[in-house]
C-alpha cells in the first residue's frame, strides 16, 4: 500500500514565540513541564505516523490529549509549529494560501462533531456547498448532492432546512457534504460522538459500507475504543500531545504496553476481537509417511496433511500415540472442524462441538495450525499490559 498521508515530527505549540518550548521538548521535557516552566500549552509533541491509502485510521486519547489539534494541523486549520504533513509525498506545510485552498477543496474534507450547516440554506444547498466553491456546474452538483443524500439515508430531506432535522440527521448532512466533494481524504473529528447510540451504530455501519466502495483514506478521531475497534484498520493513541501507541486493534488490546492504553482496552470483549490465528498453535511435523505428513494438533490428536498441506484426515489420540511409537498410522477420520485464520474466537468457540479437533486452514484448505478450547480461553483471559512487541511503538505511562 502507498502512504497517502505521512506526518513527520509534527509539533504544535500554542504560542507566538514557540522556540523556548520547542527547545524544552527537544530536550525530552513533556507537555506539563513546559506548561509549568513557560506557561505555554503544547498541543502536539513530536508526532509521526503514516496513513496508507484506503485505511480507516483511528486517533484515540483522553480529552485534551491533542486529537483535534492533530486533525486540524493536517489541513492547517491549526498551523503546525514544526514538522511535515506529506500528502502523497508533498509537504503541505509550506504551501501558500491559494495552493492550500486547492488542497482543502479537492483533497481533504473534514467532518466535525457539531457540523456547522448554513441555517438559511436548504439541506441540498448545504451538501452542494463545497462543489459550488470548486466551480462544479449547477446540474452536476445537484445530481451529486442528491446521490450522496440518498447514500446517507436523507434522499427525501434535500429540500428542507437544517432546523427541520434532528441532530443525527444534521450530522448525516455533514457527512454527505464531506462525501460530495470527492476529496480522497476524510478527517472525521468525533463525527458520531453526539449521536444517540442507535443512530451512532447505524452511522458506523453506513461508513463501513460506504468505505467498501469509496475506498477513501479516513482519519477518524474518537474517544470511544469500541468505535475505534469497529471502524479502524489501525489505531494511534495519544496522551499529552504525544503518540504513545500505534498498531492494529488486535495488537493494541493484546499488548497495550502501558496502563494508560490498557485502561481503554479493559472492557473489550476479546472473543469478538481476537481471531483464530492469534490463538492457534502452529502446525508442527511429527512424522512423515508415504500417506503424507503427520502434524500435531492442539487437543492431542494428529492431522495428516498431503504434500501441499491440505488436511487428509485426523488421527485420534491413541492412534497418534501408536504412530509416534512407530506402530504405523491407523485409520484417518474426517471428524474435525475447520475454521479460517480470521475467524473470531467467539465463532470458533461456537463451532467447538463434542471435543472435535479444530483445524485452522487457509483459503486453499492448507493447514496452518490448530486450536483447542484451552487456547481460546487463554487468549480471551489475557488482560495484563505486556512487554513491547517488535516494531511497535510504546511508552510507559
Ligand atoms: N487554540 C488553542 N489555543 C491554546 N491551546 C489550545 C488551543 N486548541 C487546543 N489547545 C490545547 O491543546 C491541547 C489539546 O487540545 P485538543 O482540542 O487537541 O484535545 P482533544 O484530544 O481533541 O480533546 P477532546 O477529546 O476534549 O476533544 C489542550 O491542552 C488544549 O487546551
Ligand atoms: Mg477534540
- Burial of 130-146, coded b for 16+ CB within 10 Å and e otherwise, reads bbeeeebeeeebbebbb
**Contact yes or no for 32/38 (Cβ under 8 A):** no
- In this predicted structure, the answer to whether residue 349 has a pLDDT above a threshold of 60 is yes
Distance 189 CA to ligand 2 centre (A): 7
Minimal-distance CA residue to ligand 1 atom 25: 63
C-alpha cell at 274: 481476537
Q: What is the CATH number of domain 3-107+183-268?
A: 3.40.50.300
Minimal-distance CA residue to ligand 1 atom 31: 64
Domain boundaries, the chain: 3-107+183-268, 276-381
Give the CA count within 13 Å in the CB-facing half-sphere of 238: 29
**Contact yes or no for 224/47 (Cβ under 8 A):** no
Reported as a single tens digit per residue, the pLDDT across 294-314 is 887 777 788 999 988 899 999
Rg (CA), the chain: 26
Match 447510540 to its residue by C-alpha cell: 197
Among 12, 30, 41, say which to mutate for ligand 1: greatest number of ligand atoms within 8 Å of CB: 41
Q: What secondary structure letter does DSSP report for 214?
A: H
**The whole model's pTM is what?**
0.81
Reported as a single tens digit per residue, the pLDDT across 1-35 is 567 999 999 999 999 999 999 999 999 999 999 99
Distance 67 CA to ligand 2 centre (A): 5
Query: How confident is residue 383, by pLDDT bands cut at 50, 70 and 90?
Result: low
Q: Which ligand is nearest to the CA of 61?
A: 1
Task: For the chain, give the percent of residues with pLDDT over 90.
Answer: 52
Gap between the Cα atoms of 81 and 95, Å rounded: 14
226 vs 11, 142, 243, 371, CA distance in Å? 28, 36, 19, 27
Domain 276-381 - what CATH class? Answer: alpha beta
Reported as a single tens digit per residue, the pLDDT across 87-143 is 999 999 999 999 998 898 889 988 877 667 899 999 999 999 888 887 889 999 999
pLDDT at residue 322, rounded to an integer: 87
Q: What is the largest CA-CA distance in the chain?
A: 86
Q: Which atom of ligand 1 is nearest to the CA of 72?
A: 18
* Site residues for ligand 1, CB cut-off 6 Å: 14, 41, 43, 61, 63-69, 223
Q: Which ligand is nearest to the CA of 60?
A: 1
The side-by-side arrangement of strands in the sheet containing 56-61 is 108-111, 185-189, 217-221, 56-61, 234-239, 242-247, 393-394
Length reported for the chain: 397
Four-residue CA torsion sign, 123, 126, 127, 132: positive
Q: What secondary structure letter does DSSP report for 65?
A: S
**Contact yes or no for 254/79 (Cβ under 8 A):** no
Amino acid at each position: 500500500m502507498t502512504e497517502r498521508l505521512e506526518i513527520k515530527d509534527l509539533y504544535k505549540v500554542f504560542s507566538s514565540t514557540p522556540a523556548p518550548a520547542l527547545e524544552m521538548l527537544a530536550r525530552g521535557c513533556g507537555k506539563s513541564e513546559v506548561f509549568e516552566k513557560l506557561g505555554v500549552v503544547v498541543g502536539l509533541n513530536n508526532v509521526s505516523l503514516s496513513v496508507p491509502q484506503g485505511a480507516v485510521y483511528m486517533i484515540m486519547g483522553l480529552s485534551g490529549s491533542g486529537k483535534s489539534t492533530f486533525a486540524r494541523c493536517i489541513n492547517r486549520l491549526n498551523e503546525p509549529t514544526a514538522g511535515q504533513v506529506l500528502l502523497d509525498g508533498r509537504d503541505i506545510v509550506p504551501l501558500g494560501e491559494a495552493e492550500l485552498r486547492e488542497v482543502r477543496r479537492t483533497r481533504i474534507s473534514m467532518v466535525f462533531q457539531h457540523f456547522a450547516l448554513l441555517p438559511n440554506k436548504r439541506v441540498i444547498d448545504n451538501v452542494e456547498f463545497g462543489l459550488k466553491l470548486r466551480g462544479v456546474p449547477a446540474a452536476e452538483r445537484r445530481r451529486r448532492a442528491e446521490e450522496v443524500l440518498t447514500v446517507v439515508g436523507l434522499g427525501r430531506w434535500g429540500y428542507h432546512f437544517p432546523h427541520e432535522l434532528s441532530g443525527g440527521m444534521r450530522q448525516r448532512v455533514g457527512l454527505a457534504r464531506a462525501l460530495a466533494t470527492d476529496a480522497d481524504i476524510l478527517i472525521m473529528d468525533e463525527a458520531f460522538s453526539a449521536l444517540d447510540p442507535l443512530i451512532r451504530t447505524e452511522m458506523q455501519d453506513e461508513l463501513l459500507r460506504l468505505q467498501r466502495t469509496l475506498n477513501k483514506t479516513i482519519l477518524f478521531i474518537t474517544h470511544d475504543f469500541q468505535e475505534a475497534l469497529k471502524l479502524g484498520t489501525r489505531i494511534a493513541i495519544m496522551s499529552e500531545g504525544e503518540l504513545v501507541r500505534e498498531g492494529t486493534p488486535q495488537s493494541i488490546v493484546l499488548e497495550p504496553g502501558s496502563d494508560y492504553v490498557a485502561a481503554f482496552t479493559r472492557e473489550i470483549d476479546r472473543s469478538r476481537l481476537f481471531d483464530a490465528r492469534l490463538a492457534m498453535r502452529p502446525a508442527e511435523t511429527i512424522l512423515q509417511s508415504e500417506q503424507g505428513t503427520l502434524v500435531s494438533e492442539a487437543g492431542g490428536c494428529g492431522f495428516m496433511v498431503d504434500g501441499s498441506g491440505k488436511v487428509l484426515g485426523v488421527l485420534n489420540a491413541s492412534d497418534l500415540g501408536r504412530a509416534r511409537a512407530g506402530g504405523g498410522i491407523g485409520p484417518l477420520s474426517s471428524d474435525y472442524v475447520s475454521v479460517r485464520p480470521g475467524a473470531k474466537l467467539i465463532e470458533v468457540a461456537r463451532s467447538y462441538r463434542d471435543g472435535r479437533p479444530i483445524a485452522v486452514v487457509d483459503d486453499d484448505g492448507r493447514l496452518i495450525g490448530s486450536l483447542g478450547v484451552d487456547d481460546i480461553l487463554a487468549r480471551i483471559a489475557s488482560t495484563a499490559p505486556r512487554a513491547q512487541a517488535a516494531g511497535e511503538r510504546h511508552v510507559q505511562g
